[in-house]
Each structure stands twice: as C-alpha cells, then as structure tokens.
Amino acid sequence: MSSGSLRWRLVRRLVALQAALLAIFWLSLLGLSWLSGGPIMALESEDRVLDIVRESIARAPDGASSFAPRPRSPRCAPTCQASGSPSTTRRDIG
C-alpha cells in the first residue's frame, strides 16, 4: 500500500520546505543582530518615558490636572512643528 496520494506527498514536502526556510530566515535575523552588536532597533527605556510623563503632569491649585509645557525633543523638531503639536500649550486632562 502506498503512503498517500501524490498530492499529499507534495503537500508534506512543501510544508517541510516552508518550515526550513522559516528557520533559516529567523537564524539569519539572529545572526545579523549578533553581528551588529545588539538589538536591531533601540528603544528608549520605559523608566525614562515614565520620568518624562511624571515631570509633565502638573496640579492646579483647584486640584485639576494638566500637562506642563516641555521643550521639544531635537528628534521631533521637523514633525512636531509641521503637525502643530499642542505640547507648547498647557492642556487640561481631567
């Protein structure tokens, strides 16, 4: 008795080929990351983001919360100025 129809033998080979190519792809990404000396994308630390948010929140004498104005980041300058970011004015948040 045969091990299955031609279609299923071809499907099994195709699935095995796809699994092998996926493994090669992930190993290549890991190798590139290792060769570059670190992660491919560097993200800011969450602690730094929390510090910035904590410094930005202000309380008014009546107890309302608002965001205090902060200087723009040099990385954000072209896009923030073009979009008219409201970060230059004080905004009530609650």
The pLDDT score that the predictor gives to residue 28 is 93
Q: Spell out the residues 6+ positions from residue 66 whose beta carbon is closer than 8 angstroms to its own.
A: 57, 58, 59, 60, 90, 91, 92, 93
Q: Check residues 36 and 74 and name the one with the higher pLDDT.
A: 36
Residue ranges per domain, the chain? 1-42, 46-92
Percent above pLDDT 90 for the chain: 26
Averaged over 49-53, what is the pLDDT?
80
**Contact of 60 with 66, CB cutoff 8 Å:** yes
Tell me, rounded to whole angstroms, the distance of Cα 23 from its chain centroid: 23
Quick one: pLDDT band at residue 49, thresholds 50, 70, 90?
Answer: confident
Quick one: pLDDT band at residue 91, thresholds 50, 70, 90?
Answer: low
Q: Check residues 27 and 32 and name the one with the higher pLDDT.
A: 27
Q: Check residues 37 and 8 and name the one with the higher pLDDT.
A: 8
pTM exceeds 0.75 for this model: no
Residue 49: phi and psi, rounded to 5, are -65, -45
Question: Among 19-28, 51-60, 61-70, where is mean pLDDT lowest?
Answer: 61-70
